[in-house]
Structure 1
Amino acid sequence: MPDFAGRDVFDRAPTFDLRHRLYRLLWQACWLLLARWTPPPAHRWRIALANLFGARIDPTAALYPTVRIWYPRHLTMQARATLAPGVNCYCVAPVTLGAYAIVSQGAQLCTATHDVDDPAFQLLAAPIRLGAHSWVCAEAFVGPGVRLAEGAVLGARGAAFRDLPAWTVSGGVPARVIRARRPFSRDQR
């Protein structure tokens, strides 16, 4: 199938070079063999393994065994941040979780999409940032380039395609602000 310039779109080079793909293969094998089967409280072991592969995860964070991390070098988790069971962290671009940010079970953090106007369906990536005390509830979806400001909540099964304001609760598809959330006082942080 030719593109707009008359070239065959299937003759293009892969999006990621061989070295990058081998790194991801080694990462997935190590996670499967050394982390996937570990008991849930073994957060420090899984964090150490992810950090060995280039992640920047605070030792007080929580990283569950059934989490899927696409590219650990793009993952940053600050103090007490959590990736719960079944989270899919598709971090083609950087994903940053602020202090005490929580991503609940089965949620999706997706930093990439495809250019639907490109005949080669080229990959497009943009970072995701979850502010301190933000919460992505169960089975919710956060799209490429989205920022949840401090204290923002995305309700269960909601889908955020735009930034969510600080100290609000949002829900639905696409997510919209439902109500304000009371900010934590300094003593409660």
Structure 2
Amino acid sequence: MMKQNLEKFNNSDFDRGASKGKELFWLLLRGFFFEFSVLPLSGLRRKILNLFGSKIQGSVTLKPQVKITFPWKLSVGENSWIGEEAWLMNLAPIEIGANVSISQRVMLCTGSHNWKKESFDLITQPIIIKDGAWICANVFIGPGVTIGENCVVTAGSVVTCDLPANMICSGNPAKPVKER
């Protein structure tokens, strides 16, 4: 049986997508304007994200206490919402379509580790959420997942594979339950 040996972990080839200075500046602003702010400052948050390389279109609503790892790896379509305490761990790109609702405490996680290797290598894959989807509260979406257009993922679900368009999906692992 293989055991992981974290002393052998090395992610020096991981591309963070920006300089260390830019990342440090982002971490400072993220704490003040995103994670610890309770003020409804969506317009200002959109401007800050776009200054850091996000592609935020139109009137996206960014609720207080949203955590975004790398804004330069994020795109969000018009009229979408990102709820309180959502965490977008975008080590790889996250693409959110138009009119998408990301509810409270959703975790979009583009990274994992290769448990088959002793060195526990970092694995990253993008997440794509298509137009009109609703990701309900406390959902976890893992690396490499695409959520289909107008799909609803019910509260507390765990999504580890692609979900189809126009379906209500639920569970751990999330599966299609019925048409929307």
Same fold (TM over 0.5): yes
Deviations 1:128-173 (A, max 9, x none): 1111000110000111010011001110000111111110001110
Residue 37, structure 1, aligned to residue 37, structure 2: yes
Secondary structure of the residue aligned to 1:171 is: strand
Q: CA contact under 8 A between 2:151 and 2:166: conserved in structure 1?
A: yes
Matches within 5 A, 1:118-157: 118-157=117-156
Residue identity in the other structure for 1:14: S
Q: Using the alignment, how far apart are the partners of 1:147 and 1:17 within structure 2? A: 22
Residue identity in the other structure for 2:147: L
Shift of 1:106: 0.3
Matches within 5 A, 1:167-182: 167-181=166-180
Residue identity in the other structure for 1:113: S
Q: CA, structure 1 residues 30+179, in 2 after alignment: closer, same or farther (shift >3 Å)?
A: same
Q: Using the alignment, how far apart are the partners of 2:108 and 2:72 within structure 1? A: 15
Q: CA, structure 1 residues 21+124, in 2 after alignment: closer, same or farther (shift >3 Å)?
A: farther
Residue identity in the other structure for 2:110: T
Please name the residue that 1:27 is paired with. 26
Q: CA, structure 1 residues 13+139, in 2 after alignment: closer, same or farther (shift >3 Å)?
A: closer
Answer 1 or 2: higher relative contact order, Cα 8 Å, separation at least 6. 2
**Superposition misfits of 4+ residues, deviation over 4 angstroms:** 15-22
Q: CA, structure 1 residues 13+105, in 2 after alignment: closer, same or farther (shift >3 Å)?
A: closer
- Which structure has the larger Rg? 1
Identity %: 29
Unaligned runs of at least 5 residues, structure 2 = none
Residue identity in the other structure for 2:12: P
Please name the residue that 1:96 is paired with. 95
TM-score (norm 2): 0.88
Q: CA RMSD in A?
A: 2.0
How many residue pairs get matched? 173
Q: Using the alignment, how far apart are the partners of 2:33 and 2:88 within structure 1? A: 19
Unaligned runs of at least 5 residues, structure 1 = 182-189
Residue identity in the other structure for 1:142: I
Q: Using the alignment, how far apart are the partners of 2:171 and 2:22 within structure 1? A: 37
Please name the residue that 1:186 is paired with. none
Shift of 1:86: 0.4
TM-score (norm 1): 0.84
Secondary structure of the residue aligned to 2:123 is: strand
49-58 or 22-31, larger mean C-alpha shift: 22-31
